[in-house]
Amino acid sequence: MQVEIMTPSAEDTREVGEAVASLLRARDAVMLAGDLGSGKTTFAQGVARGLGIEEQVSSPTFTLVKEYTGILDLAHVDVYRLERVQDVVDLGLEELGGGDDVLLVEWGDTIEELLPVDRLRVELITADEHDDLRKIVISASGPAWVDRFAELEAAVMPWVVTA
């Protein structure tokens, strides 16, 4: 289950994150993938906004984990600087927020095998480093997303790539 979209601006990327957030439930995992500067944190800001988080969201690159309180609580994790799988295990991702937080992992593709089977994979691809145009590929996996995938497609419809 996959949907491809294009966002022409950083604000559109945030709006897609907000649209995705409308479908999230406690304990959901969202894995963000993409090169440096591809918009992972921008997308995360939209997710946070969609979860009613009013606090400024920035990349947790140096703190590794930032937790936010909203309609659903959010654990925003960045594993870019972690060198070993054991470092990630030591973070106790499944225990964040008592285990009920929405888990949003930047560079999550590097630890995909440690994330729940039920997850979204959001890959952000830049068209040009000097342009805000982004291709975003959202893949859903696991039984928890089977019933929600049509809703996800509808939520991001304004940005869907048409052939």
Summarised one tens digit per residue, pLDDT across range 34-71 is 988 889 999 999 999 999 999 999 876 656 788 899 99
% of the chain with per-residue pLDDT over 90? 54
The pLDDT assigned to 118 comes to 87
Which residue(s) pair with 119 in the sheet?
29, 141
Distances (CA, A) of 24 to 2, 54, 112, 128, 131: 16, 17, 19, 30, 29
In this structure, are strands 134-141 and 119-126 parallel, antiparallel, or unpaired?
A: antiparallel
160 pLDDT exceeds 70? yes
Return the higher-pLDDT residue of 84 and 158. Answer: 158
pLDDT of residue 65: 80
Tell whether the model's pLDDT for residue 88 goes beyond 60: no
Tens digit of pLDDT for each residue in 17-38?
Answer: 999 999 999 989 999 999 888 8
Mean pLDDT of 131-150: 92
Q: How confident is the model at residue 97 (pLDDT cuts 50, 70, 90)?
A: very low
This prediction's pTM: 0.87
Tell me what pLDDT residue 98 has.
53
- Written as six digits, the tokens of 59 are 């990349």
Residue 36: what pLDDT? Answer: 85
Backbone φ and ψ for 121, nearest 5 degrees, come out as -115, 120
Predicted local confidence at residue 107, as pLDDT: 78
Q: Which two tokens stand for residue 52?
A: 């009613």
Q: Using CA atoms, how far apart are residues 6 and 130, in angstroms rounded to an integer?
A: 16
pLDDT score at 85: 47
Can you give the C-alpha Rg of the chain in angstroms? Answer: 15
15: which residues sit within 8 A by CB, 6+ positions away?
A: 7, 46
Instruction: Name residue 77's beta-bridge partners.
Output: 65, 105
Q: Where do the domains of the chain lie, and which CATH numbers do they carry?
A: 2-157 (3.40.50.300)
| Contact yes or no for 52/22 (Cβ under 8 A) | no
Instruction: Mention every residue, 6+ apart, whose C-beta is less than 8 A from residue 128.
Output: none
- pLDDT confidence bin for 117, thresholds 50/70/90: confident
